[in-house]
Amino acid sequence: MTEEPGRILIVDHSRRALLFQESILRRREAVISTALAGSEGLEKARQERPQLIMFGFDLFDMSAPEFCREIRNDDRTRSISLLLVCDRENGAHGDLCLAAGCNDVIYRPLQRNELDAKIGRLTSIPARRQLRTLTRIEISLEKNGRFLLGRSLNISATGMLIELDRVLPGEGKLRLHFYLPGEPAALQIEAEVLRAEFVGTLAKYGLRFVNAGGEERDRIEKFVRRLRSRELI
């Protein structure tokens, strides 16, 4: 009998904040759900019974301290762990929420190691081991109407490190088009740049996939596992 995955609920009035936090939490063995208002978050908490709720201070129709008190005063949600996400200059927000029953506070910009440590302490939801493998794949990139050719240096189900002989133009997302070796169908995935490194005439970019569906991630994970199994022989 397989164990049911853990659940994490994110509540914030900002869609951008929700998407960013959800992208960070994807690497955990958890079902992630979101809510754009405190009342919606309360309803989902009662229905879904998540192990953890991450929330901002402004919850549109209520404040974070009110949200904490509602969670703690309801028998159905009292045991859920609460983690406030706020700006460091607003330290008073953390104090108000801790006094209202919040378990812990994490400050922006979110640091993955700190977030992992806090989630691990507040829940029993493990981080997913990210399989990554070295491989060179020719990639066609489209950015702001310009098309470039690059090469991957490594790849995982959530992103890749690529190498180009020129600098990427401007801001915005990339559209990647590439074939996994041995597969007849191409992958087309949007990505965003997480980091850049420039050495001589070469530019290296760490990319995170932003719209890869379950099928695309499964194909990449299977490819990575296949290569890694050969490396261990």
- Domains, the chain, ranges and CATH? 6-122 (3.40.50.2300), 132-231 (2.40.10.220)
- Token readout for 35 is 């809510």
- How many CA atoms lie within 13 Å of 218's alpha carbon, on the beta-carbon side? 3
If one compares 127 and 145, the residue with the highest pLDDT of the two is: 145
Average confidence (pLDDT) over 28-44: 90
Choice among 37-41, 136-140, 223-227 with the minimum mean pLDDT: 223-227
Distance CA 2, CA 15 (A): 33
pLDDT above 70 for 233: no
On whether the CB atoms of residues 144 and 172 are closer than 8 A, the answer is yes
